[in-house]
Structure 1
Amino acid sequence: MTPRILLDTADVPNGGGELRLFQRGQEFSIMLGSNELMNSRLSGSEEALATLPCKRLSDRTEARLLIGGLGMGFTLRAALPLLGAKAEVVVAELVPAVVKWAQGPMAEIFDGSLADPRVTIETADVFDLISQNHGSYDAILLDVDNGPDGITHASNDRLYNSAGLKTAQKALRPGGILAVWSSAPDTKFTRRLADAGFAVEETPVRAHGKRGAHHIIWLATKR
């Protein structure tokens, strides 16, 4: 049996716990405690977080996207082929070590996407970038924590509460899309999106192709 090797650890800022990067053969996983946050074999729903909104924005040749959470880069890689040459993609990653892992042991997974001239990586809290930019984004893609019921960082709640959703709505251009990944449905969150001024669609997707766990993508379009 191929052993699982611990490659590195990193503290989540503000007491959010410790991330651990593991490798088993060609497979990588990132753990927080006993929770596996992501695995390099399971990319389907993270890719859908990009493809679902980007296909709806195909007429915006200079689209500006904000991705919350670099992770293993599946959302970023899925977005780039669907965007024009003049598009801009800003990726906010809270944990500096995750960027280092993307440039180091997981570089093959990222397949050169970090070097794309349309991409900017910001080591920052995505909420700060949302709140500082009004009417700036055509899409905000959030793959932060396990969804609205966060487990890794208490401050993530401010992304998903009523005030945070209204802040995201203000950060979007007219007709812009807030796309949110979650490991499970959340009817209260769906209602909060609607109350914040979005037209809401809830789409179930598989973690890997036609297999794996069911995840949820909310597509919330600014009215």
Structure 2
Amino acid sequence: MPLSYDIPEVLDRREGPYGEVVLRRHGELLQIIANGCFLMDTSDGRSERLLVDAALTALDERPAPEVLIGGLGVGFSLAHAAADPRWGRITVVERERAVIGWHLDGPLAALSGPALADPRTKIEEADLLDYVNETSATFDALCLDIDNGPDWTVTEGNDSLYSPAGLAGCARVLRPGGVLAVWSAQPSPEFEGTLGNAGFQQVRTEEIPVARGVPDVVHLAVRPAVRPG
């Protein structure tokens, strides 16, 4: 008998300002594809949960800390933050209108619905780099889950977020002692150096254990209580 393979089913395909984004179903998984490159799916979520938990732990039990999440994705980070009553305001910045729609009234609503209904949650449709450079709001934590991390970006222009100028914008929206947590598909010693050179302190990396291959990681850094210089 010939082998049968699941063929991904395209649920929606949109052309946005940053290229094509596709939502597809592959077996039980929902997948987001950007410009033909796989970005993420609903298979796990451990690294996204670590992104949120590591930031909260590093805040040393600051009461009702407010968090800015960069990237809505499949909603793991938002759902995990909203499930924790210790967080205060939860703001998510997502630049793809299609992704926001898939959560509001599409297939991803089953994962993020309770979080979106939470009164602490607010969704901002914007490019994160523009947002951090223009907003007057400040936060205790900034959790970045943009693209595949600092060393391999799918969408042109996303690499600027991990540059010294991009990190300066991140520091701008963080309160003194605030935490920056950055998800990456692989460890990046070079990015650790960039964080230190940008004035962040207590730079460290936490890995997600995997059976084989390169682990996902979360890079953590703290904005000094007093700005240098």
Query: Given the two structures, how large is their TM-score scaled by the length of structure 1?
Result: 0.89
8 Å CA contact retained: 1:66, 1:92: yes
Q: Hey, what does 2:205 align to over in structure 1?
A: 202
Give the Cα separation in 2 of the matches to 1:64 and 1:48. Answer: 17
8 Å CA contact retained: 2:48, 2:183: yes
The sequence identity of aligned pairs, in percent, is 37
8 Å CA contact retained: 2:187, 2:215: no
The structure with more radius of gyration: 2
| 1:217 maps to amino acid | V
Give the Cα separation in 2 of the matches to 1:168 and 1:112. Answer: 28
Once the two structures are TM-superposed, the CA of residue 170 in structure 1 deviates from its matched residue by: 2.2
Q: Hey, what does 1:222 align to over in structure 2?
A: 223
Once the two structures are TM-superposed, the CA of residue 121 in structure 1 deviates from its matched residue by: 0.4
Deviations 1:174-219 (A, max 9, x none): 1100110111122221101001111201111147xx7885111001
8 Å CA contact retained: 1:11, 1:95: no
| 2:222 maps to amino acid | T
| Change beyond 3 A, Cα 1:141–1:160 | same
Once the two structures are TM-superposed, the CA of residue 10 in structure 1 deviates from its matched residue by: 2.0
8 Å CA contact retained: 1:90, 1:122: yes
**Of the candidates 16, 22, 25, which is equivalent to residue 24 of structure 2?**
22
**Any residues of structure 2 matched to 1:82-121 within 5 Å, and which?**
82-84=84-86, 87-103=88-104, 104-121=106-123
| 1:127 maps to amino acid | L
Instruction: Report the number of matched residues.
Output: 218
Once the two structures are TM-superposed, the CA of residue 100 in structure 1 deviates from its matched residue by: 0.8
**Of the candidates 142, 145, 153, which is equivalent to residue 143 of structure 1?**
145
Give the Cα separation in 2 of the matches to 1:146 and 1:12. Answer: 19
Q: Hey, what does 1:6 align to over in structure 2?
A: 10
**Any residues of structure 2 matched to 1:24-103 within 5 Å, and which?**
24-57=26-59, 59-84=61-86, 87-103=88-104
Give the Cα separation in 2 of the matches to 1:177 and 1:52. Answer: 9
Answer 1 or 2: which has greater strand percent.
1
Please state whether the residue corresponding to 2:216 is helix, strand or coil. strand
RMSD: 2.1
8 Å CA contact retained: 2:186, 2:214: no
Deviations 1:79-130 (A, max 9, x none): 1233437x11110011000011112112112241111100000111111221
8 Å CA contact retained: 2:21, 2:98: no
Give the Cα separation in 1 of the matches to 2:196 and 2:185. Answer: 20
Query: Given the two structures, how large is their TM-score scaled by the length of structure 2?
Result: 0.86
Q: Which moved more, 1:144-153 or 1:69-78?
A: 144-153
